Structure 1
Amino acid sequence: MLRDISLKNYRMFKDFQIDGLARVNLLVGPNNSGKTSLLEAIHLLVNPDNINEVFDEVLGPRGQFLLVPDRWGDEPEIEHQIKTLFYQEILTSEATLCIESKSDDLQSFVLQLYPTPEYMEGLNLPEFVTKALRINNYNLLVSHTQEKQTIYHATKVTAKGITSSDFRGLTRSDPPLFQSRQSVLMTLERLKLVTLVEMWNEIALTPKEEQIIKGLQILEPDIERFSFIGGTTTASGVLIKLRGREHPVTLGSMGEGMKQMLNLVMAAVTVENGILLVDEIESGLYYDVQADMWRLLIEIAQELNIQIFATTHSWDCVRGFAAALSETPESDVGKLFRLSWRGELIRAIDYPAEQLEKAVDYGIEVR
């Protein structure tokens, strides 16, 4: 579990540190204060074996990529606008991007430009890495350290900060050094149907299925079962069986809140021993059910050893979070962090459960 994280030269974070992270963390703050960017940074940090997929998930929802027609007429190739990850979008050899956590064993994600072969001389890199950079004319390197091991990926990047190919692994490892997926990132686009079906294959006929039903029943107590069927969207590809009704209904007929709850709980129970990252967690959910949502997520987080990071602009979501924490015996299970600008730097102010409860009781604005 992450207890701290620091960011340097990453998006709008010139130099940022946050300590005292809890099992369940709610991030608040004004627009453009870095809440979503912090979720993305954690996603980059903890997934060293899926670097290309993770870049797709971080840059894709923001539209920070290009689709280039394939010369053979196959699917278009994706080129990432990688410079957008750097502070003020300045990609130079002096502006090393670093995401780091010192919890337990050091974890780090470092993205750095190596513009010329001469620049690499004297750098503290393994010989096989410098050799691969020279031979392949790679000039952008990811160094990913976890569990006292470092793996490397490299690619070519243009002068405009656009990758001209996928990142290629420079470290031979079979099996992979780390587990395949250590976090799930839920952007405002939410999870695709194909992703939910893959998750369902791991959940079906296990106790985790009961947790999903429990989550859906927060919004509709008469739900008995649900199932995936052929379809192109989550709305049409999921059937819901309601108590007292002979025929099931599609998920799409039950509103956005039901789709949001299905996404949340399925992602949570799938990422056991990992991290769930959710942008605008209250989206589509009626204010009156948000405390119940938090109670269930806290319960799942404790049972399955999950750490949760979520963002919100909603006072109802903050109030529901405070109510759920007040009923939890472990007072340190959750914490609210407010991100805000202090001059040219972003800083975090933390509100442990007791302080948050008092702030909500007295109507003190914490967002």
Structure 2
Amino acid sequence: MLDHIHIENFRLFKNLDIPKVGQVNLITGKNNSGKTTLLEMLRIWANRFSSVGINTAIDLMLINRGEANGNIEEAYKTIFYRYEEGIPSLFNKELSIAYLRDPDFGQFLLSTRVNTQNQTNVHRRMNSGPKIIANPSNDNSFYVPAGFELINSHLWKKIKLTDKEDKVCEVLHVIEPGIERIDIDESDGSAMVRLKNSPKPLPLKNFGEGMNRLLTVALGLVSAENDMLLIDEIDLGLHHSVQRLLWEIVFQKSKDLNVQVFATTHSSDCVQAFSDVANKPEYAGLGNYIRLQRSKKDGDIVAVDYEMEELESAMDLNLETR
């Protein structure tokens, strides 16, 4: 698991330092403070053992942001802080991404360097084609973007007919202990569940508002067992009344499945629910709260780290935390 984050020259981040991260990390901040950008860099990092995976993660980032059409050179420049060519983006001094002009062909190329376990791998990719196209199946990360309606279908394809099906049901027992089986319609992402001693399956949505989003979190946690899960706008579509249940699932199952979670929100209700659950004795030491904001000194994005007790006090006093 990551225990710190240091990013240089990546999109909004000139020099972002997060000296401490936990097992369950909630990231907040105002619009354009870099919440999604932080997840995007973590997604690229999660693909560090595969050159195809790194390129796919970068391309998906540009496609999702609507920056992949038109001039490819200009699209790749958006990866870097203030579009500066030749100055690499760095992650924890172990991953470097640079956009350079090839001296032999005069063409721009994307160069990634990964330093792991005393081994250095350099991958170079020439630009080709009129626009950027990516195959999501080459992405080795477990990333849940905001607003992707078919995310449950996407995650389910990797789980169905494996032992992990039972683990999804185990996560859903936090919602309904009687759930024995689950199936997901890959065309629309809707879920049906079968209860113990029940003759016919029932739609999961019958169990209350926001169940599909809770299912997304469950699928993500099981998919990312012994790895890292990234969720943008984790509380999307959830009523405030079920957000403590959301965090109960995340804290309990990330611990059971050994998953490191990074999630974003801009909701004070979500922060309050996170604080309530993170401060429970059984989850002591698991939670970490990170607020991204612009420095008053130079306008660069910086991270403000809260201890869980400090967050609880700030919420009690109704201080600004997001």
- Tell me how far apart the structure 2 counterparts of residues 189 and 165 of structure 1 sit (CA, whole Å): 21
- Tell me how far apart the structure 1 counterparts of residues 105 and 100 of structure 2 sit (CA, whole Å): 13
1:109 to 78, 88, 95: 95
- Tell me how far apart the structure 2 counterparts of residues 222 and 205 of structure 1 sit (CA, whole Å): 15
C-alpha contact 1:57 1:185 (8 A) present in aligned 2: no
1:251 Cα deviation from its structure 2 partner: 5.1
Q: Deviations over 1:133-163 (max 9, x none)?
A: x5896732111223332222212248xxx98
Q: Which residue of 2 aligns with 1:228?
A: 184
1:250 Cα deviation from its structure 2 partner: 4.4
Give 1:114's aligned amino acid. L
Give 1:333's aligned amino acid. L
2:64 to 61, 68, 91: 61
1:45 Cα deviation from its structure 2 partner: 1.5
1:309 Cα deviation from its structure 2 partner: 0.7
Q: Which residue of 1 aligns with 2:303?
A: 348
C-alpha contact 2:101 2:107 (8 A) present in aligned 1: no
Is 1:261 paired with 2:231?
no
Is 1:301 paired with 2:293?
no
Q: Which residue of 2 aligns with 1:22?
A: 22
C-alpha contact 1:225 1:242 (8 A) present in aligned 2: yes
Q: Deviations over 1:286-337 (max 9, x none)?
A: 2122112212211122222211111111111111111111213453211111
SS of residue in 1 equivalent to 2:57: helix
Q: Which residue of 1 aligns with 2:319?
A: 364
Q: Which residue of 2 aligns with 1:214?
A: 173
- Tell me how far apart the structure 1 counterparts of residues 73 and 147 of structure 2 sit (CA, whole Å): 20
Q: Which residue of 2 aligns with 1:147?
A: 117
Q: Deviations over 1:185-240 (max 9, x none)?
A: 1111342514322133444454x1333322553xxx775532135x41202xx323
> Cα distance 1:243–1:80, how it changes in 2: closer, same or farther (>3 A)?
farther
- Tell me how far apart the structure 2 counterparts of residues 243 and 267 of structure 1 sit (CA, whole Å): 24
> Cα distance 1:181–1:365, how it changes in 2: closer, same or farther (>3 A)?
same
- Tell me how far apart the structure 1 counterparts of residues 67 and 156 of structure 2 sit (CA, whole Å): 24
- Tell me how far apart the structure 2 counterparts of residues 215 and 23 of structure 1 sit (CA, whole Å): 20
Q: Which residue of 2 aligns with 1:47?
A: 47
1:34 Cα deviation from its structure 2 partner: 0.4
1:183 Cα deviation from its structure 2 partner: 3.4
Is 1:200 paired with 2:160?
yes
- Tell me how far apart the structure 2 counterparts of residues 97 and 225 of structure 1 sit (CA, whole Å): 45
- Tell me how far apart the structure 2 counterparts of residues 80 and 295 of structure 1 sit (CA, whole Å): 43
C-alpha contact 2:24 2:287 (8 A) present in aligned 1: yes
1:181 Cα deviation from its structure 2 partner: 7.0
C-alpha contact 1:82 1:163 (8 A) present in aligned 2: no
- Tell me how far apart the structure 2 counterparts of residues 326 and 247 of structure 1 sit (CA, whole Å): 40
C-alpha contact 1:325 1:353 (8 A) present in aligned 2: yes
Q: Deviations over 1:16-53 (max 9, x none)?
A: 11111111111111110001100111111121211233
Give 1:31's aligned amino acid. N
- Tell me how far apart the structure 2 counterparts of residues 61 and 328 of structure 1 sit (CA, whole Å): 39
- Tell me how far apart the structure 1 counterparts of residues 45 and 130 of structure 2 sit (CA, whole Å): 20
Gaps of 5+ in 1: 69-77, 102-106, 118-133, 168-179
Give TM-score, length-normalised by structure 1. 0.75
C-alpha contact 1:156 1:164 (8 A) present in aligned 2: no
- Tell me how far apart the structure 2 counterparts of residues 67 and 253 of structure 1 sit (CA, whole Å): 45
C-alpha contact 2:210 2:238 (8 A) present in aligned 1: yes
Q: Which residue of 2 aligns with 1:278?
A: 231
- Tell me how far apart the structure 2 counterparts of residues 152 and 136 of structure 1 sit (CA, whole Å): 19
C-alpha contact 1:22 1:334 (8 A) present in aligned 2: yes
Q: Which residue of 2 aligns with 1:96?
A: 88
Give TM-score, length-normalised by structure 2. 0.84
Give 1:63's aligned amino acid. G
Gaps of 5+ in 2: none
C-alpha contact 1:144 1:152 (8 A) present in aligned 2: yes
CA root-mean-square deviation: 3.1
- Tell me how far apart the structure 1 counterparts of residues 256 and 130 of structure 2 sit (CA, whole Å): 41
Give 2:88's aligned amino acid. T
C-alpha contact 2:88 2:98 (8 A) present in aligned 1: yes
Q: Deviations over 1:230-283 (max 9, x none)?
A: x41202xx3233578654344577787222111111111111121111111111
Q: What is the identity percentage for the equivalent residue pairs of Structure 1 and Structure 2?
A: 30
- Tell me how far apart the structure 2 counterparts of residues 137 and 31 of structure 1 sit (CA, whole Å): 36
> Cα distance 1:210–1:313, how it changes in 2: closer, same or farther (>3 A)?
same
1:336 to 284, 289, 292: 289
